[in-house]
Amino acid sequence: MEIPKQYDPKQAEEHHYSRWEQAGFFAPEANQDRNAPVFSIVIPPPNVTGSLHMGHALQHTMMDVMTRYKRMCGYRTLWVPGMDHAGISTQLMVTRELKKERLTRHDLGREEFVERVWQWKQESGGQITKQMRREGASVDWSREKFTMDEDLSRAVREVFVRLYEEGMIYRGNRIVNWCPNDQTVLSDLEVEKVPQAGKLYYLQYPVKGSDERITVATTRPETMLGDTGVAVNPRDERYRRFVGSTLLLPLTSREIPVVADDFVDPEFGTGAVKVTPAHDPNDYEMGVRHGLDQVVVIDTHARMTEAAGADLAGLDRYKAREAVVEQFEELGLLERVIDYEFSISKCERCKTVVEPLISLQWFVRMEPLRDLALEVLSKEKKPRFSPESYDKVYTNWLENIRDWTISRQLWWGHQIPAWYTETGEMVVARSLAEATAKAGTAKLTQDPDVLDTWFSSALWPFSTLGWPVETDDLKTFYPTSVLVTARDIIFLWVSRMVMMGMKFMGREPFADVYITGTILDPQGQRMSKTKMNGVDPLEVFDKYGVDATRIMLASVGSTDSRWNEKQVESYRNFANKIWNAARFALMNSEGARIDPRTLAKSEDLALHDRWILSRLNKTTRDLQAAIAGYQFHEAVQTLYHFFWDDFCDWYIELTKADVTSEAEGPQRIQSRTRLLSVLDQALRLLHPFMPYITEDLWLRLPGAASDLLHPAYASASPTIMLAAFPTMRDELIDEQAEWEMQAVIDLVTRARNLRSEMNIKPGERVSVLVSSPDEQLRSVYSASADQISRLVRASKLQISAASEAPRASARAVLTGGGEVAIPLEGLIDFEQERQRLGKEQEKLRAEAVKVETQLANPSFVERAPAEKVNELRARIADIAQRTAQLQQTVENLQ
RNA sequence: GCCCGCUUAGCUCAGUGGUAGAGCACUCGCUUCACACGCGAGGGGUCAGUGGUUCGAAUCCACUAGCGGGCACCA
Residue A31 CA, nucleotide B62 C1', distance (Å): 55
- What does DSSP assign to residue A649? I
What does the CA dihedral A735, A738, A739, A742 come to, rounded to 10 degrees?
-160
pLDDT at residue number A742:
93
Q: Could you tell me the strand order of the sheet in which A229-232 lies?
A: A246-248, A255-260, A229-232, A272-275
Give the residue among A568, A590, A547, A569 at the shortest CA–CA distance from A697: A547
Measured distance CA(A448)–CA(A723) in Å, rounded: 53
- Name the residue with the least CA to C1' distance from nucleotide B33: A660
Give the residue among A227, A277, A271, A270 at the shortest CA–CA distance from A247: A227
Measured distance CA(A681)–CA(A643) in Å, rounded: 11
Is the peptide bond between A387 and the residue preceding it cis, with omega within 30 degrees of 0? yes
Strand B nucleotides, any atom under 7 Å to a protein CB: 3-6, 11-15, 18-19, 22-25, 28-30, 32-42, 54-56, 67-75
Q: Please check whether residue A701 is in contact with residue A17, taking contact to mean a CB–CB distance below 8 angstroms.
A: no
Residue A793 CA, nucleotide B38 C1', distance (Å): 19
Reduced 3-state DSSP string for A95-147: HHHHHHCCCCHHHHCHHHHHHHHHHHHHHHCCHHHHHHHHHCCCCCHHHCEEC
pLDDT at residue number A199:
86
pLDDT at residue number A274:
92
A522, closest nucleotide (Cα–C1') = B12
pLDDT at residue number A1:
54
Q: Mind giving me the DSSP string for A792-845?
A: HTEEEEEEESS----SSEEEEEPTTS-EEEEE-TTT--HHHHHHHHHHHHHHHH
Residue A778 CA, nucleotide B35 C1', distance (Å): 34
Angle between helices A546-556 and A691-698 (to 10 degrees): 130
**Which residues, at least 6 apart from A543, have a Cβ–Cβ distance to it below 8 Å?**
A568
Give the count of beta carbons closer than 10 Å to the beta carbon of residue A775.
Answer: 9
Q: In Å, what is the CA distance from A509 to each residue of A438, A495, A502, A839?
A: 33, 10, 7, 63
- Name residue A170's amino acid: Y
A492, closest nucleotide (Cα–C1') = B70
Residue A832 CA, nucleotide B5 C1', distance (Å): 51
- Name residue A690's amino acid: M
Residue A608 CA, nucleotide B53 C1', distance (Å): 46
- Name the residue with the least CA to C1' distance from nucleotide B19: A847
Give the count of beta carbons closer than 10 Å to the beta carbon of residue A172.
Answer: 10
pTM above 0.90, yes or no: yes
Residue A381 CA, nucleotide B49 C1', distance (Å): 38
Measured distance CA(A259)–CA(A254) in Å, rounded: 16
Q: Mind giving me the DSSP string for A834-876?
A: HHHHHHHHHHHHHHHHHHHHHHH-HHHHHHS-HHHHHHHHHHH
Measured distance CA(A844)–CA(A848) in Å, rounded: 6
- Name the residue with the least CA to C1' distance from nucleotide B29: A756
Going by their DSSP bridges, the two strands A480-486 and A510-516 should be labelled as parallel
pLDDT at residue number A197:
79
pLDDT at residue number A794:
92
At A419-468, the pLDDT tens digits run 999 998 999 999 999 999 998 999 999 999 999 999 999 999 999 999 99
Give the residue among A213, A155, A22, A186 at the shortest CA–CA distance from A471: A155
Residues in chain A with pLDDT values less than 70: 1
Complex ipTM: 0.95
